[in-house]
Amino acid sequence: MSIASAADAHALLDAHDPILLTTHTSPDGDAIGSELGLAHYLRARGKSVTILNDDDLPDHLAFLPGAEGVEVFAEGAFEQKKALAEAELAVVLDTNAAERLGALAEPIRQGGSEVLLIDHHTEPEDWFDHAFQRDTAAATAELLCEVIEAGDPALIDPEVATPLYTGLMTDTGSFRYSSVTPQVHRTTATLLERGSIAPAPIHSALYDNRSLASLRLLGRALGRIRLRYDGFVGYTSITPEVLEAAGAGSEDKHGLVSHVLSVAGVGAALLFTETQGGTKVSFRSEGDTHVDGWARSFGGGGHRNASGAYLEGYSLERALRDVLDAAPQFIDVEEEGPALSDGEATELAAAMKAQSG
């Protein structure tokens, strides 16, 4: 059932206790920030709240207040099973698909809790009992700010404001994406004023505290950038060999695709990450160049200017060929010459892998 207003969403939260919060696998700043901001607010209102995710939070978000309380789901863990069983309401944040909940999908769908979706992605699934969803919102954190404003905004303190501000900052590319509206800035101002927080320390914690391994990985990724469609589409790739050579882990890829988008003339940027079982593709774009349809055509989804897909069973070579050749179907670029043959795609991927060492 769709929830028409933030006030209705707040009333639903107010009517339930205990409450379980969860979000998507490989959680980002908006996912974790939304969980922590909402958890602090609900606890200030006397609620019992558990945050339970399928994946651990990334290292660059460990500075957020309450981050140590984010639990990772382990089947058979007594306290977690108890929290799932006793929750009157399960709140799914920043994703609208069961698949993206990982191992928590079935326990939440088959459990006895009512399920509330709060999210800003397109095309939500219909299994949620309640949904406060708007795909024009810049971040799930923006929706939560509306919910809190409809309830008790006097409870916005640094522990509420810092995570929600982080969610807004990270999901808007530091407030530069086309999803940023005057209302987003008004919401941000409310967090800064009521929460008595400063932007600079949060930005520094997110972006100025990188590991040496992540910088080595960045250098390798920048050296592998290629352009297509008269320079409008830029892409790079990361292989297991590249990660190993840089001494990096998957969490060190944070923000890499944005560097591709910063190349002059590039309006759409892609990062291909080869894994053991397939290839992950991150899509970013600017302005009216929308990449969500492009990602959906490969089983993914997301936002107009920031989306992703996981191509199960795809080699890097096949992903490079199929995804890049599909660009004219979804963005305003002219068809190029013949698509890469299997041999050419293999040669290109091999050349990119050769830069791993």
CB of 196 within 8 A of CB of 165?
no
CATH 3.90.1640.10: which residues of the chain? 6-207
Q: What is the mean pLDDT of residues 11-24?
A: 98
* C-alpha distances out from residue 328 to 47, 230, 237, 324, Å: 50, 12, 21, 9
Domain 212-354, second-level architecture: Roll (3.10)
Contact 52, 83 (CB under 8 A): yes
Give the integer Cα–Cα distance in Å for 208 and 223.
22
- The string of DSSP letters for 149-175 reads HHS-GGG--HHHHHHHHHHHHHHTTTT
pLDDT at 250: 86
User: Is the CB of residue 327 less than 8 Å from the CB of residue 233?
Assistant: yes
Q: What is residue 122's predicted lDDT score, i.e. its pLDDT? A: 87
pLDDT-wise least confident of 18-22, 58-62, 309-313: 58-62
Query: What stretch(es) of the chain map to CATH 3.10.310.30?
Result: 212-354
Mean local confidence (pLDDT), 58-86: 93
Query: In b/e form, how buried is each residue of 244-266, taking b as 16+ CB within 10 angstroms?
Result: eebebeebbbbbbbbbbbeeeeb
Please say whether the beta carbons of 168 and 140 come within 8 A.
no
Taking residues 29-55, report their average pLDDT: 98
CATH number for region 6-207: 3.90.1640.10
Q: What is the mean pLDDT of the chain?
A: 94
Q: How much is the average pLDDT of 44-53? A: 98
pLDDT band (50, 70, 90) for residue 75: confident
Is the pLDDT score of 89 beyond 90? yes
Q: What are 218-262's pLDDT values in tens digits? A: 999 999 999 999 999 999 999 999 999 999 998 899 889 999 999
Rounded mean pLDDT of 114-133? 95
**Whether 121 contacts 132, CB under 8 Å:** no
> Structure tokens of 260?
């591709």
The pLDDT of residue 29 is 97
pLDDT of 289 > 90? The answer is: yes
Q: Is the pLDDT of residue 278 over 60?
A: yes
Cβ proximity of 145 and 187 under 8 Å: yes
Q: Tell me the β-bridge partners of 310.
A: 280
